[in-house]
Structure 1
């Protein structure tokens, strides 16, 4: 792992659907991910549970695994509150909490949260400035806690290199991982999330993969075209397969290795199923031996 920080290991789990589960099920899911041997448990923040509260639930339900708020919405809390929350978790669970910041989306920032959506890079930079200047909240216990940016485009990746431990791109092909490493340089953390469907026969998952690939397009269309994917709105097989890997555990492990070979330090698996309200514990356990080696 590049630089000192939480020990993520080579593979983790992106638990993207925990907001649809009860708190009891969330605790059981967190314990299952840890017991399977993964190094990190990542989760998003959209319109469900507040990120710092969710992190507290997950940290309290586990013993060693790193809990990463992979996409904490910067419009959900002011920067002083975020800095205080990060320090609180770092003090209570040393080395086990990682803050990932997300620049949000216009509809979430404005329609849901009632803010004015600003330029992503400029707004994120100002937010980081305010976090760094925050004097309220618990005092730092040593080195400043680590943070990453949920960055996709070159401007935010460059900001992640300058002002964070590194970057956490979600839902992009291996080609993007290679480009992200070039922007970040050799020393920054690059932790990517890969969408996966465990389907040994590749017989019943094509529609599920296409639906999730379609949901990724609005924030990624220009980037994908820049990577050489033509007519992305048509969702051809090459593009869908690049965004969502489906097949047996060995195929998924191969994609993880491709990301690592392209410069990633850590790959989180977002396991997709037809029943998102039910944590895919069976799939997490089945994939662990293949991706953790």
Structure 2
């Protein structure tokens, strides 16, 4: 699966208009990005299966399309494997199925997430035909899930993480598995405005136990997670500032061991495609597409 070094992660592909999504996907391919990540959100993804992926794949010819992520509670493994194989082969060859265990606060079926994910991956292997491990990636942050992702998929898709977490994930994964992370970007140079925007985006995630546990494990404190997030938390999880400052954050992740970075530009609404920002970020001096 060719992801390249930089991709675009956006909620708007799964929450917005399909016609505009097709047009935007075509442009992202022309701009040279390696992947389009179809984002979900803590409150649930209204089109979290492979229907949107098919729309985006049909509008492009080279770029990889990834889901970030399909909840294992919402789609039985046999159905997911069947939906994958229902796509034309030329589309399947560019599809990376991101899988996640979601959150106890979101899914009423949430239970024993590690064992549930392991069983789900085994069921994908046993499906007829199977959904190949090379065509799936797991959203993981903790040590058990990270090791399970390395064993049962092509690697890890991490979300809202610092370069320190990237270094830890790479050391846990070893050299083989893919480490593809999301980096949230706020193209704003005013610290107060950038951090306020970041806190607005971060608010629903601060209410989720899985993320809080991961951040505390990574060295943040309970005080960092209080009152919308400390400046330290915001500045470690979000890239903001001038273009060269944003590029420096991406470089820090690469040096820490990331293979691919999916850039998410914060927008006011879930259905807004940040197309001008994506064009600006595609400048050769900023992102190594």
Q: Settle same-fold status: TM greater than 0.5.
A: yes
Structure 1 consecutive aligned stretches of length 4 or more whose deviation exceeds 6 Å:
none
Q: Which residue of 2 aligns with 1:247?
A: 241
Which segment drifts farther, 91-100 or 159-168?
Answer: 91-100
Deviation at 1:227, TM superposition (A): 2.0
CA shift at 1:203, angstroms?
6.1
Cα pair 2:21 2:56 within 8 Å, conserved: yes
- The 5 A counterparts of 1:1-293 are 6-45=1-40, 46-89=44-87, 91-110=89-108, 116-135=109-128, 145-202=134-191, 204-217=193-206, 218=208, 219-230=210-221, 231-234=223-226, 235-289=229-283, 290-292=286-288
- TM-score normalised by structure 2 residue count: 0.90
Distance in 1 (alpha carbons) for counterparts of 2:137 and 2:251? 22
Deviation at 1:17, TM superposition (A): 2.9
In structure 2, the gaps of 5 or more residues are: none
* In structure 2, distance between residues paired with 1:100 and 1:280: 22
| TM-score of the aligned structures, taking structure 1 as reference length | 0.89
C-alpha distance in 2 between matches for 1:54 and 1:94 = 13
User: Which deviations, in whole Å up to 9, do the C-alpha atoms of 1:87-144 show, x marking residues without a partner?
Assistant: 333724253111111112224322xxxxx222111000001111111125xx88xx76
Conserved 8 A contact 1:90-1:97:
no
How much has 1:22 moved relative to structure 2? Answer: 1.3
- 1:127 and 1:65 map into 2 onto residues whose CA distance is 27
Using the TM superposition, give the Cα deviation of residue 236 of structure 1 relative to its aligned residue in structure 2, in angstroms: 1.2
- Once residues 236 and 12 of structure 2 are traced to their aligned partners in structure 1, the CA distance between those partners, rounded to angstroms, is 22
Q: Distance in 2 between matches of 1:26 and 1:284?
A: 14
Q: CA shift at 1:200, angstroms?
A: 4.0
Counterpart of 2:62 in 1: which secondary structure? coil
Aligned-pair CA distance for 1:145? 4.5
- SS of the residue 2:46 aligns to: coil
- Relative to structure 1, the CA distance from residue 203 to residue 223 in structure 2 (aligned partners, 3 Å threshold; closer, same or farther) is closer
Q: In structure 2, the residue corresponding to 1:191 is in which secondary structure? A: strand
CA offset at residue 154 of structure 1?
0.9
1:46-66 Cα shifts (integer Å, max 9, x gaps): 331142101001101112100
